[in-house]
Chain A
Amino acid sequence: MATTDRSDVLQGTLDMLILKTLEAAPLHGYAIAQSINRVSRALLQVPQGSLYPALHRLENKGLLASEWTETESGRDAKVYRLTKKGRARLEAEVADWRRISEAIALILRSSTA
């Protein structure tokens, strides 16, 4: 199954994308998917539904919290928001990411030079 064979790297990336997307404001699953798609369609080539196991996992870890609210279309939606713990994790992950990408950039620069 595609949902279980996903590599850890991709899963980690997806987790970070979700946290980042929710940094500004709480969103429901569909809105998160749309937002990630807007940023980069290439990053989320797996089916859109794959988002939900990730959302539930993050909620179980206490990085996200959720509540049901009515949307403007009149439907009930489950809206996720970042918890304190989630915010801290996002900051740590972003910092990590920066460090790694700077290191990689440095390597690439020096090898092309």
Chain B
Amino acid sequence: MNRWARVLNRDSFERQLDAELRFHVDEETDRLVADGVPRGEARRIAMATFGGIEPIKEATRDVHPMRWLDDLGRDLRYAGRSMRRHPAFTAAAILSLAIGVGANTAIFGVLNALLIRPLAVAAPRELAYIRRVGPAADRQRTSATTRFSYAALQRYGAAMHDAQGSLAAMSSVVRMQLVAGNHADEGAELILGQLVTGDWFTVLQVAPQAGRILTPIDDAAIGGQPVAVVSDAYWTRRFARDPSVIGSTLRVNGYPVTVVGVAAPQFDGFIVGDPVDVWLPTGLQQQVHYASNADITDADASKPWREQEGVAWLTPVVRVPSSLRGTATAAVDVAFRRDVEARAAKIANPEQRAFVLQTHAALGDGSRGLSSLREEFGSAVVVLMATVALVLLVACANLANLLMARGAARSREFAVRLSLGAQRGRLIRQLLTESLTLALIGGMASLLLAEAGSEALLRMASDGPAPLLLDVSFSWPLVAFAILVSIVTGVLFGLMPALRFSRADVNDAIKSGGRAVTASGGSAIGRLLVVAQVALSFALLVGALLFVRTLHNLLTIDPGFEPVHLVTARFDPRMAGYTAKTMAALRERLLDAARAIPGAHSAAVAMCGTLANCHSVSDIDVPGRQRGIGDDADVQEDFVNAAYFPALGMTFVAGRNFSESDTPQTARVAIVNEAMARHFYGDVNPIGRVFTEGQKFEIVGVVRDSRINGLRETPPRMAFYPYSQNPEVPMRNVYVRFTGDGRLAAQQLRSAVRQADRAIAVREVVTLAELEERSVARERLVSTLTGTFGLLAVAVSCLGLYAMVSYSIAGRTNEIGIRLALGASPASVRWLVLRETLALVAVGIAAGIATTIPTLRLVETLLYGLSASDPFTFACAIATLSTVAIIAGLGPAWRASRVDPSTALRID
């Protein structure tokens, strides 16, 4: 018979097989009857010489190649029946798997987008970015080590060209104020824009899907072609994919540019987490008022940046075949070293010169782009991935235990089938089909949760009102991940019970009517599962406690300013076309409008401000002080008005505040913080001292240190300069200290800014307390999730422990009955049971400690104010788990002590 016909005709095959074997037995019986054997006896002998119908059928089915398909169908039907028969178990299993796999897939979605997924360009592995390496570079923020001047790019580009590579460059991705069409500045929106060199899209191999990409001609001259390329996402979001947008005008920060094309779908730039809406040529730097993220030395920031060697603001991205990567690195380093040596020659201090001379250029892997988000959240996401994976393992162990308990009732069925000739492999396969079916149903359900979970995670992790801009939407890698995790889960929780029951001792099981295996919960496998659960939940609990205490440490830190009842509006007037000449007038209007808010005590303005992710850092010279190596001479700077310090609640420890008498005509003054005074002046009173940064500044006051860069970062050395002496400097933050309702104050501040000029697009209005909260967003995310999952794991393990001890007691009713009959006190029986529980927990905790301590060292960088092996945390975790264990053990212990000896002994 044809194989497929046989598979489709399974019933007919079974009927034929049955008829064929029956025929044999019938003929043999007839022969024996003819020989004079009584019919009943003849049939018995015929069956015996045949060797058993069922095993032979089994062996015959086995020789057919499509056997597994039959089996699968049968196993699936069997699994379905078994799942319907135990609806509570089925629901619990599917639900816990859906949540467990869903949490894993959700976090994997973020992990994939942040850490794994390559850029949506052709051959992403060929991409790299140039960065500085060496002791001097190591002290800088990573983003600063990838910034170079335009002139330097030209030299490195030539070197790359000789090494058969190509080079393009990009600025940071910054917010830009954009108006579509040529009408007035109404309805300005903030978008993410980036300046790129003319060959950017050519080097990245991104094609236009409409119009054209930028060309070197667009970026040939400073102030060159006013053109822009928009991203697919922005084209969809803002223009509903209208092709007529090509050729239309956008006003970017007030400057009109023509849209020439739409980039290929999926491509949203080189910086993961900063999806670009609009790309502009670097030649437009002045025209669109691009003035962020640059290292400026001996240069004039108000002149075009492209022509100045002293402005490092572009990140070079290169494409070079992997085989030529080494040659290309060497070529770039040679060109880079010429610059380093030229700079070092100007340094007088030999120690510092040697320090600078250790700097080299290297190529960083660009296949996944660059990302500050990756640096900030990468390790946190890995920790969360590990956490949910462990929780899933705990859930697996629990399901395995439940299956064992349920399987105990079925062990008789298995024993009978084994004795009827079923093969062990068949039974294992059948049980695994059941657990895999459960797991896959759970996995499918998990996909419904995963995307929402990923998005929730991005909202929680965000340091702003919008979620992190990562694409975590449905994709095949995620589905593949969910299926893979489901299969692994199904095998994990199904295999142990399957192995155990397919080995059931045939005679024992049949004779004692299934009771022999009732104690399976107390078997070695059951114990192992419980110990594993305890160990895993111990690790999770320790991790959770460490992160919760980290968050607590950060939240109880004194920030050095008074965040309550303080609201700020953030914007950039340069985007609305304000220049050095018009800035002072706008400032007065803003301050007047802000002061007029009902309930406002004071109104302040600042260039960088507090907790605003703005770092303006300069080297200063202090007369008579020998400058050390590295960042020894750095100070972080800000421009503020006199009201800033009282408004923020920053108190003076010495000297005076700025005053009306500090004007552009009087001597330049500065206020510094304690960290700055301590670093540059030691114990000497800094008031009246002078330092140089371009020009001379006299220190007139010292304020307390404050955590301007976020709660985690130690207070930087600060120097504040007054707007009264620098009226041309823009202000990007307005602060109002108020009494009353925060939401109302925020609304009023927003309209105050609009009142000053409606063309200014406000990025956000937010209280300082919210900003403070956001600066610990990562810690809150990690502590909330690890805390939740840690508690979940402990609860699940507690249930597992309870079930295990209960089964163990049920199997030992006899023994306990005998003990009681022989005069053991109920208390001693209770202790017996409790001791068993505690022993399991102790072993689990010991295993947990042994595995946790080396692993936790990896999360040390995420902690604050305590070490990964913090003894108090471990003590807390041990105490919690022991308490939980005692609670789990009390019930079974109590029941054991109430066993009636006569009933217990009568059972057998």
Identity of the chain B residue whose Cβ is nearest the Cβ of A4 in the assembled complex: B59
Residue B421 is within 8 A (CB to CB) of chain A in the complex: yes
Residue of B nearest to A50 (CB): B51
Q: Is the CB of A49 within 8 A of B27?
A: no
CA distance in complex: A50, B55 (Å): 9
Interface-forming stretch among A17-25, A74-82, A95-103, A104-112?
A: A74-82
At the interface, yes or no: B49 with Cβ under 8 Å from chain A?
yes
State A60–B50 Cα separation when bound (angstroms).
23
Chain A count of residues within 8 A CB distance of the other chain: 24
Q: Is A9 located at the chain interface by the 8 A CB criterion?
A: no
In terms of DSSP, what is the predominant structure of the interface of chain A?
helix
Interface centre among B23, B26, B49, B52 (most CB of A within 10 A): B23
Contact with A along B774-802 (1 / 0, CB 8 A): 00000000000000000000000000000
Q: A29-B23, A30-B23, A46-B51 are in contact. Are A53 and B60 (CB under 8 A)?
A: yes
Shortest B427–chain A CB gap in Å is 13
Q: Are B21 and A49 in contact (CB under 8 A)?
A: yes
How far does the alpha carbon of A33 sit from the alpha carbon of B62 in the complex, in Å? 21
Q: Which of B50, B59, B421, B423 has the most CB of A within 10 A?
A: B59
Known A56-B63, A56-B64, A78-B16; judge A50-B56 contact (CB<8 A).
yes
Distance of A53 Cα from B24 Cα, bound (Å): 14
Interface residues on B, range: 20 to 34
Contact of A52 with B23 in the complex, beta carbons under 8 Å: no
Which residues of the other chain, B, contact A77 by a CB distance below 8 angstroms? 20, 23
| Chain A stretch 1-46: residues in CB contact (< 8 A) with chain B | 1-4, 28-30, 33, 46
- Residue ID in chain A nearest B51 by CB atoms: A47
Asked whether, in the complex, the Cβ of A47 is within 8 Å of the Cβ of B52, the reply is yes
Instruction: State whether B51 touches A49 (Cβ < 8 A).
Output: yes
Q: Does A57 contact B (CB under 8 A)?
A: yes
B583 within 8 A of A: no
Q: Which residues of A contact B56 (CB under 8 A)?
A: 3, 47, 49-50, 52-53
Residues of B within 8 A of A76 (CB): 19, 23
Which residue, of A1, A2, A29, has the highest number of chain B Cβ atoms within 10 A? A1
Complex alpha-carbon distance, A29 and B421, angstroms:
22
Known A53-B59, A56-B60, A78-B23; judge A2-B423 contact (CB<8 A): no
Q: Does B65 contact A (CB under 8 A)?
A: yes
**A80: shortest Cβ distance to chain B, in Å?**
10
Question: In whole angstroms, what is the CA distance A57 to B60 when docked?
Answer: 8
Contact with A along B1-45 (1 / 0, CB 8 A): 000000000000000100111011011101000000000000000
CA distance A3 to B27 in the complex (A): 22
Tell me the smallest distance from the CB of B1 to a CB of chain A, in Å. 8
Q: How far is the CA of A74 from the CA of B52 in the complex (A)?
A: 24
User: Are B50 and A49 touching (Cβ within 8 A)?
Assistant: yes
Contact of A78 among B20, B52, B65 (CB under 8 A): B20
When the two chains form their complex, are residues A52 and B64 in contact, meaning their CB atoms are under 8 A apart?
A: no
Chain B neighbourhood of A47, CB < 8 A: 49-52, 56
In whole angstroms, what is the CA distance A77 to B24 when docked?
9
State the Cβ distance, B66 to closest chain A Cβ, in Å.
10
Tell me if B51 and A1 are in contact (CB < 8 A): no
A residues in contact with B51, CB < 8 Å: 2-3, 46-50
A sample of 5 inter-chain contacts (CB < 8 A) reads A4-B59, A47-B51, A49-B21, A49-B50, A78-B19
Closest 7 CB pairs of A and B: A47-B51, A49-B56, A3-B59, A49-B51, A57-B63, A53-B59, A30-B27
